Chains A and B, each alone.
Chain A
Amino acid sequence: MMEPGLYHVLIISTALFFIGVFGFLTRRNLITMLMSIELVLNSVNINFIAFNKYAWPNKLDGLFFSIFVIAIAAAEAAVAIAIIINLYRSHQSIDVENAADLKF
C-alpha cells in the first residue's frame, strides 16, 4: 500500500475502460451497451484529470478537455436514447440481434 499517485489513478482508469469494453462485447441490449460506453468515457475523463493534476499542474487544459468530453457525452447519450426509443417503437425490442434490418 503506497501513497496513491499518477500510476494508481491510471491503473483505475485502465481497469474501468476494459470493464466497459467487456460490457460492450458481452451485452446484447442497447441500453446496457450505452451504459458500458458511459463507463469508457468516464475512464477517459479520469485520465485527463489525473494528467492535469500530476503531470502538468501549471495548466488547466486537461480539465477543459474533460468538461468538453462530458458535454459531448451528454449529447451522445440523449441522441442514443432517442434512437433506442424509436427502435423499440418499430421493432418492440431493443436487442441488437433483432435490429439487423436497415430501412433503406
Chain B
Amino acid sequence: MNGSTIIFYLLTTLILVSGILSVTTRKIFRAAIFLLFSLIGIAGLYFWMQYEFIAAVQIVVYVGGITVLIIFSIFLTQQAGELLPKQNKGRILFSVLAAFCGFALTLLQIFRHTFGRSFERPVLPSMENIGNQMLGIEANGFALPFEVVSILLLAAMIGCIVIALRSKPETV
C-alpha cells in the first residue's frame, strides 16, 4: 500500500461518490456542482495514469467549458431554489435494477476476458509525440480526422446560432 495506491482509491471515491450524488440530488444546481467534482476527479485519474495532456484537455474542455455552459443554462431556465419533482418509486426501482444488471453483466464479461498486452517499446504520451502524430499525414497520422473534427465543430457552432436565434421577435 504505497502513496500511488492511496491516491488512486481517493480519486475513485471522489469520482463515484460525486457521480452518484450528481444523478440523485434534487437540487439542480448542486447536481451541476457534483458533476464538476466528478469531472475533476477524472482529470486527476488521467494525471495518475501520467497522461498529462489529456488531463489538461479534460480540465479545459469539461471543467472550464461544458460545466460552465450547463450552469449558465440552469440560470436561464430554472427558478432559484426550486426542487426537481419527485420521481415515482416504480421508475426508480426499475432504473436501479436495469443499471445494476448491466453493471453486473459488464463486470462478468470483463473478468472472464484476459486482456492482451503488447511488449513493444512504449511510446511516451508527450506533447511532442502527440503533436507529430496528430498532424502527421504519413501512416498512423491523424490529420484527416483532425480536419473532419474541425469541420464538425464549425457546423455545430453555426447550428447553435441558427437554433438559438429568435425566429419571431414579438414572442418574448
Q: Which A residues are closer than 8 A to B by beta carbons?
A: 1, 3-4, 6-12, 14-23, 25-29, 31-32, 34-36, 38-39, 42, 45-46, 49-60, 63-64, 66-68, 70-79, 81-86, 88-89, 94-95
Contact = CB atoms under 8 A, between A and B. Distances in A.
Interface in B9-68: 9, 12, 15-16, 19-20, 22-24, 28, 31-32, 35, 38-39, 42, 45-46, 49-51, 53-54, 57-58, 61-62, 65-66
A57 B119 CA distance: 8
A26 B16 contact: no
A39 B115 contact: no
9 contacts: A7-B111, A14-B110, A20-B23, A59-B140, A63-B51, A68-B149, A75-B152, A82-B163, A83-B163
Interface in B118-172: 118, 120-123, 125, 129-130, 133-134, 140, 142, 145, 149, 152-153, 156-157, 159-160, 163-164, 166
Given A27-B23, A49-B49, A81 B42 contact: no
Nearest to B51: A49
A58 B98 contact: no
A31 B157 CA distance: 19
Contact of A39 (B35, B123, B152): B35
Interface residues of B, number: 84
A17 B144 CA distance: 30
Given A57-B118, A63-B125, A79 B156 contact: yes
Please classify the interface of chain A as helix (H, G, I), strand (E, B), loop, or mixed, using the class held by over half of its residues: helix
Given A21-B102, A36-B23, 19 more contacts: A14-B103, A16-B19, A18-B103, A20-B23, A28-B84, A31-B70, A38-B39, A39-B19, A42-B42, A54-B117, A58-B123, A67-B54, A68-B145, A70-B62, A74-B153, A77-B70, A78-B160, A81-B70, A84-B77
Contacts of A58: 118, 120-123
Given A19-B19, A60-B130, A85-B77, A50 B164 contact: no
Contacts of B65: 74
A31 B102 CA distance: 24
Please classify the interface of chain B as helix (H, G, I), strand (E, B), loop, or mixed, using the class held by over half of its residues: helix
Contacts of B99: 18-19, 21-22, 25
User: What are the 3 closest A-B residue pairs judged by CB atoms, nearest first?
Assistant: A23-B23, A75-B156, A57-B122
A18 B23 CA distance: 11
